[in-house]
Amino acid sequence: MTATEAPPGAPAPKAEPLAVRTPPARKRLVPYWLLLPGLLWLLVFFAAPLVYQASTSIQTGSLEEGFKVTWHLATYWDALGAYWPQFVRSVSYAAVATVLCLLLGYPLAYLIAFKAGRWRNLVMILVIAPFFTSFLIRTLAWKTILADGGPVVGALNALHVLDVTNWLGLTEGHRVLATPLAVVCGLTYNFLPFMVLPLYTSLERIDPRLHEAAGDLYARPRTTFRRVTFPLSMPGVVAGTLLTFIPAAGDYINAELLGSTDQKMIGNVIQSQFLRVLDYPTAAALSFILMAAILTMVTLYIRKSGTEDLV
Asked if 231 interacts with another protein (CB under 8 A), we say: yes
Of 186 and 236, which has the nearer Cβ to another protein? 236
Asked if 217 interacts with another protein (CB under 8 A), we say: yes
DSSP 160-222: THHHHHHHHTS-BTTB-TTSHHHHHHHHHHHHHHHHHHHHHHHHHTS-HHHHHHHHHTT--HH
CA distance 164 to 209: 44
Q: Tell the smallest beta-carbon distance from residue 245 to another protein (Å).
A: 24
The region of 105-113, 222-230, 259-267, 272-280 touching another protein under the rule CB under 8 A is 222-230
Of 160 and 227, which has the nearer Cβ to another protein? 227
Helix (H) or strand (E) holding 62: strand 59-62
Asked if 214 interacts with another protein (CB under 8 A), we say: yes
CA distance 257 to 186: 9
CA distance 62 to 130: 42
Asked if 232 interacts with another protein (CB under 8 A), we say: yes
The region of 34-42, 127-135, 224-232, 250-258 touching another protein under the rule CB under 8 A is 224-232
Asked if 223 interacts with another protein (CB under 8 A), we say: yes
H helix count then E strand count, the chain = 16, 2
CA 261, 91, 280, 257 dihedral sign is: negative
Total residues found in the chain within this entry: 311
Give the 3-state secondary structure of residue 67: strand
Backbone φ and ψ of 14, nearest 5°: -110, 165
Instruction: Report the alpha-carbon angle 48-52-57, nearest 5.
Output: 150
Asked if 213 interacts with another protein (CB under 8 A), we say: yes
Q: Tell the smallest beta-carbon distance from residue 224 to another protein (Å).
A: 8
Which one of residues 129, 152, 155, 210 is an interface residue with another protein (CB under 8 A)?
Answer: 210
Q: Tell the smallest beta-carbon distance from residue 243 to another protein (Å).
A: 22
The region of 60-68, 196-204, 213-221, 251-259 touching another protein under the rule CB under 8 A is 213-221
Of 126 and 213, which has the nearer Cβ to another protein? 213
Q: Tell the smallest beta-carbon distance from residue 149 to another protein (Å).
A: 51
What residues make contact with another protein under the rule CB under 8 A?
207, 209-210, 212-220, 223, 227-228, 231-232
